[in-house]
Structures are given as C-alpha cells and as structure tokens.
Structure 1
C-alpha cells in the first residue's frame, strides 16, 4: 500500500515542539506573562490558565542530568524523578528556569520527597493528592484545587473569577476533543500512520504554550489524515499494540521504536502521555466548576490510586475499540507503584481480555536497546 508522504514534516514539527518553545517561554517572560510548570497530569492547569498564565510540562525524559541528581538522590530511585531533579538543579531545563512556580503533587513517595529538596532552590507549590477516588478523597481534592487558586491570587496579586475558570475549561476541553479525534484515527485497520508519529503529536502538544491555537491545528491534521486514508494512503497491516504503564517521552521512545521496527504498530497509549491525559472532559456547564474540575482530575486512572478501577476501565475500552492484539507494559526501574500493579494488569489483559501481554522494565539509558529489540521482536512475531 502507498505510505503517507505529505505528513512526515508535520509529525517532525511536533517532535521538535519542546525545543521550539524554549524561545517562546522566554518571550512570554519578557512580556510579563506568568509561567507555571508541572510534572503530572493531575495538575489542574485550568486554574493557572484562568489567570492568563502559560502552563508547561517540565523536563524529565533523559539521563543527561541523572549523575548530577545522584549527588543528592539515591541511585536506586526512579529515573523520571532523578531526571526531573537533575534538570532543575543544573538549570538545563529552560521551562523550569523560567517558571515562576513549579506545582508538585503527592503522587509517589519518591516524587514528593524530591520536591522537598527542590524547594531549596525553587518556589514549589505542593498539591496534596488523595490516594483514593472516594467521596472523601474527592471533597479533599476540591479543597486543594480551591486552595491552589487562592495561592495564585495571592502570589500574583490577581483575582481569578469563576468565569475565568470556565473560560479556561472550555479552552482546554477543546484541545482534548481535538486530540481525541486525532488519535481515534488509529481505530482504522490498517492504520493511517505509525504509532510513533501519533505519539509525536500527542507529546508535542503538551509543549504548545498557546492552548487556543491547538484545536484548529489538530483538526486540520486529522482532516488531512482522514482524506488521505480515504484515498488509499495508509500503513501496511501489522499486529496492533497498546502501550500502558509509566509516562513516555524522550529516552523511553526507544520502546515504541523497538515495537515498530520489528513489525508492530502502536495503536493506543494508556499512559500519561497518551489517552489518560485527554480522554476525560471537565463538565463545562456544572453549577460548581471547582467540583467539576476535581471530578475530572481525580478520575485519572493512575497506579498511585488505591484501588485503581479507572485504569482497568480505560484498558478495557481501548483494547476493544482499537482492536488490540497485544499489550506492552513499560515500567521504569524503581517505579514501585506501577511495578506492583503490573501483576493485576497482566491478569486483566491475559485472563479477562484473552490477549498476550509483556512486561518491559527500563530506564533512560540506551544500554538495553538491543535487548528491547530482541524481546519485542519475539512478542510481535508471536502475535
């Protein structure tokens, strides 16, 4: 079949978006626009957006600064935590450097203790995340969101109105709808693009500082993909893979490449850089917009939640909707929450959904690229 030729440059542009926005964030600072950085999808960005701030994800996807981080942090710690701290400490992350405040969250033990060290050289605001999605947890999380609003109002001497928050909710919901429509194109069999190209767009948009321009840009891309697919421009038929587990990006894209260079195609990402980040909307018409925000964000299915039913619900629907042939779970070394939950995920995938599963443990180095290729080649061939 004819492979898409018109779109590679678009995908490449999204892949470079993180670097492109380095200059943009400085320009915003020069104009006096507040910048709020965060590391986690539980961060309720609409509150910061409501006061006109730019929100940005911070650097944490390379082993470049891990040696420096290990001067303060233990070596047997999750590479995401060490990378985050290392980029912050060495000032090698422009987004961190220009952030007026970094929003931390009490997800895993390693991250929340790392934030304590980070507070020694950066203004870090900690949001205390409940560890369950109960009614009590929801009430507490709503209080935390409102407390964050009050913090921003005091720090930046602004007033954030309910209508400001609703405006930001509508803006970010539009982004989510467009991205969901974009990645839904992977339901086609065969697929219209590679899973890596899909990932470049999903990951790249997290570094688009002007959220208002994203929907039109993504909708135009999706329209082009659908038009070219209808004209017969598509990938060859391949085993369809879903990736779940820890956040991806940067160094860990080696897992995507290992799957696709060995004959598979990644059709869905059930992780923080995939559907988990955009699949749920905030109720724009809710009488209590802070309750609506709390419900949306607390419903994210992360392994830090006990129990964690929403992750299984998402996996269930994604496996069916995207006709998944096999599941790859990627877990970062020393990520205890995801590694412990992996047994339940394996049982769910193999016993309830009756499809193959493989567990991949890795870090931000390139030393295991050959081993990853060998294991994932055998997994894809089995499918």
Structure 2
C-alpha cells in the first residue's frame, strides 16, 4: 500500500493565527502517527528526540566552523554528503560517525586551500553529482545556505521549554527563514550576507529548478542584494536530475575564472 499516511499543511506566513494553525497541524500529525504505528508519543519521547537532534546540530555546526579558515577540511561535495547522511540514517549512528569524522579531520588538518571560495544556495541541492560539477578550476564550495545544510544546524531547540512548544517555536519562528515564508526576505538576505562575510566568500552560486517561481523570485532578490554589496553571483537554472552538465560546468568555469582575475590569481 501507499506508505504516505498523512499530509501536513505548512503556513507560508508568520503570525499568531498562522502559528495556531501550525500547532493544530502538528497535533493532527502526532495523532495520525500514533494511530498508524500503534504508539504513544509522550513528552519524554519528545525531550529525548530534542536532545538527540540538538547533539546532531552541535556536531554539524562544528563541522561548518572548520570551513571558515583559509584552508578547509572538506570539499563542498563532501560536506553536503555528510549533511545528506544526517537526513538519511538513524541519528544515534550518524552522531557517532560524525564525532569520528570530526576527530579524524582535526587530526589530519585542513586538506584544501580554495583558489576561489564559493557559497551555494538554491532549491536544488541533493545531488552529489551536481556539487561535483560546481567544483572545478580551483573553485570550492566552502559553505551552503540550504535547508538540510547550514540552516538546519544554525539554531538549537530550547531544552527548557515544554517539548512540543519548543519544537513548534523552533520550526515556526526560530530556525533561519525558508524561501517559502512570506515577508522574511530581509532576514534571508541578511543571513546570506553574514555567511559571505564569515566564510570569506568570493562569489555566490544559486540554482533553481525550471519552472520554480519561488526560487525565481529569490534569485531576483539576491541579484539586487549581491550587486549592492559588490558580491559576484552566478544564477543557474537546472533540471532536478542534472542533464546539462557540460553547460553548467562551462558557466561555473567562466565564473570562477572571472573571480580569479579579480583576485589576480
């Protein structure tokens, strides 16, 4: 049968009314999950889950911190593979592997000195192949601004509040704003600028899937913001499965070469 047993409707606005609706949706989801699997989700279960996920976020944040130096520990394609694993496997196992990875990386020291430091953002980001295409000519993705990437580890869930309240506050108000959330464009752009500054980024690459109007508007907003700040940007329009690899690689190569010229490399 169809494994999908429930849909959650997520508000696109912030505000008290939208948050009350969101709470109702989460409560319906909890009830549907309990009925589907014959379990009872208790406050204690939620507290344990919050602690587990917060440990993941702390470890991931440590990994991103290691990307801030002139030399970095991971290529962007490697970093994104680590982050994708975090949404693909049991977190207890993931956290232990992540601890081992961080210890090994610190023991080895930084592995790469990017000629050009890039930030990637977009609505298309879970293809290892796509990230490898973006890494050429000495250009390296040193940080991302993705929902399952740096945004997912930027803030911890409050462990002192009632657990359901803490989860709702986190996903609705506290984690960095998503593109779908109306009237958050200033917050989103400020975060982009802070990442550029903190990771000493030379250029920003953004992509959107064909026909995705939401990310078309986001690229438009970023275009003006980056131009105003004097930050070079490259906008890509792609299929979900990257089939125009040669064209993407050529455009990225030209972008990286122009950044190298600006840095007199």
**TM-score, length-normalised on structure 1?**
0.63
What residue ranges of structure 1 are gaps of 5+ in the alignment?
1-96, 98-120
Structure 1 residue aligned with 2:231: 355
Structure 2 residue aligned with 1:318: 195
What is the alpha-carbon distance in structure 1 between the residues aligned to residue 80 and residue 34 of structure 2?
Answer: 35
- Mapped pair 1:148 → 2:29: yes
Structure 1 residue aligned with 2:216: 339
- Mapped pair 1:274 → 2:149: yes
What is the alpha-carbon distance in structure 1 between the residues aligned to residue 96 and residue 40 of structure 2?
Answer: 30
Q: Is the 8 A contact 2:5 2:36 kept in 1?
A: no
- Mapped pair 1:293 → 2:167: yes
- Mapped pair 1:228 → 2:103: no
> Structure 1 residue 172: deviation in Å?
1.0
Q: Is the 8 A contact 2:85 2:94 kept in 1?
A: no
Q: Is the 8 A contact 1:282 1:296 kept in 2?
A: yes
What residue ranges of structure 2 are gaps of 5+ in the alignment?
260-265
> Structure 1 residue 254: deviation in Å?
4.0
- Mapped pair 1:125 → 2:6: yes
Deviations 1:176-208 (A, max 9, x none): 111111122111212122111111111122211
Deviations 1:73-110 (A, max 9, x none): xxxxxxxxxxxxxxxxxxxxxxxx8xxxxxxxxxxxxx
Structure 2 residue aligned with 1:214: 94
Select the residue among 159, 170, 180 that pairs with 2:61. Answer: 180
Structure 2 residue aligned with 1:112: none
Secondary structure of 2:66's counterpart equals helix
Distance 1:365 1:213, change over 3 A: closer
> Structure 1 residue 122: deviation in Å?
4.6
Distance 1:160 1:255, change over 3 A: closer
What is the alpha-carbon distance in structure 1 between the residues aligned to residue 88 and residue 131 of structure 2?
Answer: 20
Q: CA RMSD in A?
A: 1.9
What is the alpha-carbon distance in structure 1 between the residues aligned to residue 241 and residue 36 of structure 2?
Answer: 39
Distance 1:359 1:150, change over 3 A: same
Alignment of 1:35-46 (within 5 A): none
Distance 1:264 1:166, change over 3 A: same
What is the alpha-carbon distance in structure 1 between the residues aligned to residue 198 and residue 191 of structure 2?
Answer: 10
What is the alpha-carbon distance in structure 2 between the residues aligned to residue 343 and residue 127 of structure 1?
Answer: 29
> Structure 1 residue 242: deviation in Å?
0.4
> Structure 1 residue 236: deviation in Å?
2.9
Structure 2 residue aligned with 1:201: 82
> Structure 1 residue 162: deviation in Å?
1.0
Number of aligned positions between the proteins:
256
> Structure 1 residue 262: deviation in Å?
2.4
Distance 1:237 1:153, change over 3 A: closer
Distance 1:236 1:341, change over 3 A: closer
> Structure 1 residue 380: deviation in Å?
0.7
Q: Is the 8 A contact 1:255 1:372 kept in 2?
A: no
Deviations 1:254-276 (A, max 9, x none): 44223312220001111123112
